[in-house]
Structure 1
Amino acid sequence: MSEDGMEKLTRGLADLINLGARGAIHIGLLGRGIGASLSPIMHRREGERLGLDYHYHLIDFDALGLGNDDLPEVIGILEQVGFTGLNVTHPFKQAVIAHLASLSEDAAAIGAVNTVLFRPEGRIGHNTDCWGFAESFRIGMPQVPRGRVLQVGAGGAGAAVAHALLELGVEDLAIFDLAAEKAQALAAQLARSGRSVHVVSDTETVLTGVDGVVNTTPIGMEKYPGLPVDADRLDARQWVADIIYFPRITALIETAREKGCLTLPGSGMAIFQAVKAFELFTGQKPSRDGMTETFEAAA
């Protein structure tokens, strides 16, 4: 880590380091381009509601001028100064695994981590994205056809969503990623489920033949504007889901709605993964309705 990056990070945490807060719960969110994240306000408000001394910090590698190879040092600093745990987002959900002592059963099965607990026995990785997406889907799209689905993206979030889609009953999952080896590795992992999972070399040839489309790439975020698929090939019989929630309505969701498709924005997954992560961090059951209201008010 550069001296400038180290200085920015420690200065941002000076209040914690200097005060040596005892009994406080400090959580960090590690990622890139996360300034618009609503995780901090959801976690902080729920902490207040439960009467906890709860703090949630953004550790934005872009804003701090840090490289991806600074990840282990950043984790070490946060653990050393007394953080309870971390949330992890793009692009670190898979890279973080190398720096953990153990994985929960779900994280090990998925091969990606979005929640880390600092415990005396070591750093433990969990995945709340899978449950978060599945819960959002169950509520928002209970009756949609699940025969054949196209998923775009095979990264850390994509791995969690793919597992969720199979748990939700998708019969045939087609996976596309610009990095074909990532798609192939995920498909090989998922094939153990016994379901039909395969890699496609492009989205155009399969798009018109699927029941639904799920975007798990960063394309559509404010930092990565655009569409992950050719929206002209969508039609009203299909459903479309996105896991991005800032902006809340991505170009994909907006275009799909214009086509008459049933849509599922990323807000539900964002809320429910936070609900599960908060419970892991604190050992207390948060209010799903309360965290949803906080998200809706802030979005």
Structure 2
Amino acid sequence: MKTRRDAAPDTQRILVGLIGRGIQLSRTPAMHEAEGRARGIAYIYRLLDADGMGDGRVRLEEIVSFASYFGFDGLNVTFPYKQDIIPLLDELSEAAEAIGSVNTVVLRGGRRIGHNTDLHGFRESFTHEMIGARQDSVLLLGAGGAGAAIAYALLESGIGQLHLFDVAQARAAALSARLEGRFGADRVTVASDVVAVAARVDGIVNATPVGMAKLPGIPLHPALLRPDCWVADIVYFPLETQLLAEARRRGCRTLSGESMAVHQAARAFQLFTGIAPDIDRMRTAFAAFDESPAAGPEGSGPATAD
């Protein structure tokens, strides 16, 4: 059996990494490397965790320059850098430019090309996992980099009206303006009273980092979770966030961040390698992380929210 070190000369070699903070228990390397092995690729995935670099005050541009200098083929980007990385890139895909958020960077020919696979990941997850769910109106919590991608995915999936809420109202207003230009002003509103909106929507999506192992908590009061309202959380460490646990306890239909994580990773793999991956195989690698001693009691991985 060939190892990465003694791989045949014609074996494709890929070196990629994940930039973020607090990402040591990420499931992403396992998914990418397992698919790489299955495809006969010498595939190495490294964590570039800013929290573990010196005193933690390392600058994003230093990490990106490091990756370029040492021959990385690509990068995934997570909390809190999905928007901060844009000025460091040479080119954006159509989706990344429209959304204003990047979670995947292809390094090729001396250029840095930004993509957004969060949109694809959530859209695939929502389409396949929430069949039959009412979609007339949805409350989206969080208008940052991940929130922007989720907003586009929801509207492209046919949501009737999207209500945006963010503690930074200016950020929600800016996202609303971008969405209105593409989908129409009648389909997007900024929610100033989250209690009133939560009382009447068909679904609630958390696209904030609240609920991550690093930022525990719940993004809205549990009393607002009605049994006739579905709830989705894009955080996937832990998979059972406090929001989802409360929603299930109150009889809500729920959607965890697992399927989104798998689909966005699959699209990133294809961007890095040019090869369409096996989704089921990547899903198996994601689930197997819970059985690994390194996973710890919660089987944690990185959040896509920011």
TM-score by length of 2: 0.88
Verify the 8 A CA contact 2:12 2:41 in the aligned structure 1: no
Q: Which moved more, 1:198-207 or 1:241-250?
A: 198-207
Counterpart check, 1:209 vs 2:200: yes
Counterpart check, 1:120 vs 2:109: yes
1:163 alignment partner, one of 152, 155, 160: 152
Cα RMSD after superposing both structures: 1.4
> Which sections of structure 2, spanning at least 5 residues, go unmatched?
6-10, 291-306
Counterpart check, 1:265 vs 2:223: no
Count, aligned residues: 278
Matched residues in 2 for 1:221 and 1:121: separation?
Answer: 35
Paired residue secondary structure (1:164) = helix
Matching of residues 120-199 of structure 1 within 5 Å? 120=109, 122-192=111-181, 193-194=183-184, 195-199=186-190
Q: How big is each residue's C-alpha offset from its partner over 1:168-194, in whole Å with a ceiling of 9 and x where there is no partner?
A: 111111111111111111011001111
Matched residues in 1 for 2:257 and 2:227: separation?
Answer: 20
TM-score by length of 1: 0.90
1:225 equivalent in structure 2: 216
Matching of residues 77-92 of structure 1 within 5 Å? 77-92=66-81
1:8 equivalent in structure 2: none
Please state how far the C-alpha of 1:160 moved relative to its aligned partner.
Answer: 0.3
Query: Which has the higher relative contact order, 1 or 2, with Cα contacts under 8 A spaced 6 or more apart?
Result: 2
1:93 alignment partner, one of 74, 78, 82: 82
Paired residue secondary structure (1:118) = strand
Please state how far the C-alpha of 1:199 moved relative to its aligned partner.
Answer: 1.1
Q: What percent identity do the matched residue pairs reach?
A: 49
Matched residues in 1 for 2:193 and 2:77: separation?
Answer: 29
2:57 alignment partner, one of 67, 74, 78: 67
Matched residues in 1 for 2:228 and 2:205: separation?
Answer: 15
Please state how far the C-alpha of 1:104 moved relative to its aligned partner.
Answer: 0.6
> Which sections of structure 1, spanning at least 5 residues, go unmatched?
1-15, 17-21
Please state how far the C-alpha of 1:121 moved relative to its aligned partner.
Answer: 5.4
Misfit runs of 4+, over 4 Å: none
Matched residues in 1 for 2:148 and 2:254: separation?
Answer: 21
Matched residues in 1 for 2:132 and 2:110: separation?
Answer: 44
Matched residues in 1 for 2:110 and 2:175: separation?
Answer: 30
The one-letter code sitting in structure 1 at the alignment partner of 2:210 is I
Matched residues in 1 for 2:76 and 2:56: separation?
Answer: 17
2:278 alignment partner, one of 260, 265, 287: 287
Matched residues in 1 for 2:46 and 2:283: separation?
Answer: 20
Paired residue secondary structure (2:85) = helix
Matched residues in 1 for 2:12 and 2:254: separation?
Answer: 43
Paired residue secondary structure (1:56) = strand
1:49 equivalent in structure 2: 38
